[in-house]
Amino acid sequence: MEIPVMSNILNKNDENAAALNAMLTSRGIFTVNLLGSPGCGKTSLLEQTVRLLKNEHTLAVIEGDLYTSKDADRLAEYGTPVVQINTRGGCHLDASMVKAALAKLDLATIDILIIENVGNLVCPAEFNVGEHAKVVVLSITEGEDKPLKYPLIFRQSEAIILNKIDLLPYTSFDMDAAICDIRGLNPQASLLQTSCRTGDGLTAWIEWLKTRASQTRRQANTI
């Protein structure tokens, strides 16, 4: 009974997302849909990203959250343009929410846009929001069994970040098993290991972002 309704919602969202994606590509704004469980470290990664990139790129951030502006407040301290979307209990962002948020940004000044989705490893994977790439963050404290338990989000992500590696010595996380499972689901994904506390692995993440941003800029120039 639920399936036709859900299917219509997804089709309409995909249309909206495709239109947003075309607009963002034409402007050369590389756009990331940043995904992961509550507390996996999405906002901490964003803080480090803004700090490390702000002299070379002009970033903007859209923050998805159920009710609060806690994450947006953290990022606003870095002087980056941030727009808050509150879903009022909704479990994911959709393309129409992102479109409304984009109206509050000066797109002419931005070359990288990062959309932090609601903390949820399930629902956001089903809703494109106009992004060029999904990136999923998995905290190693969540356990190495999560990729196989939540496969869609790991299959769809172009980069997969194993975060909080500073806690590896204090957990039983099996890195080899995690990498093996992730590779089985998604052989092409860029696989990164980071700690936002120690800074480990952030250089590789920043390089990934820069490379993808320059690809989008070249694509815009050929349109």
Q: Which residues of this chain interact with a second copy, rule CB under 8 A?
A: 2, 5, 9, 37-40, 65-68, 70, 89, 91, 118-123, 126, 139, 141-143, 145-146, 148-152, 164, 166-167, 170-171
Least Å distance between CB 172 and a second copy? 8
CA distances from 71 to 13, 135, 204 (A): 25, 18, 24
SS (H, E, C) 6-26: HHHHHHHHHHHHHHHHHHHHH
Q: Which is nearer to a second copy, 127 or 205 (CB)?
A: 127
Who contacts 138 (Cβ-Cβ below 8 Å, separation ≥6)?
36, 37, 40, 146, 147, 160, 161, 162, 163, 178
Least Å distance between CB 20 and a second copy? 20
Least Å distance between CB 173 and a second copy? 10
| Residue 188 backbone zone (phi > 0: left; psi -120 to 50: alpha; other: beta) | alpha
Least Å distance between CB 222 and a second copy? 37
Q: Which is nearer to a second copy, 121 or 213 (CB)?
A: 121
Strand partners, 137: 36, 161
Least Å distance between CB 156 and a second copy? 12
- Residues 154/185, Cβ–Cβ less than 8 Å: yes
How far is 139 from 137, CA to CA, in rounded Å?
A: 7
- Residues 20/102, Cβ–Cβ less than 8 Å: yes
Q: Which is nearer to a second copy, 34 or 121 (CB)?
A: 121
Least Å distance between CB 121 and a second copy? 5
Q: Which is nearer to a second copy, 25 or 43 (CB)?
A: 43
How far is 81 from 216, CA to CA, in rounded Å?
A: 20
Q: Which is nearer to a second copy, 28 or 147 (CB)?
A: 147
Q: Which is nearer to a second copy, 21 or 201 (CB)?
A: 201
Who contacts 90 (Cβ-Cβ below 8 Å, separation ≥6)?
66, 118
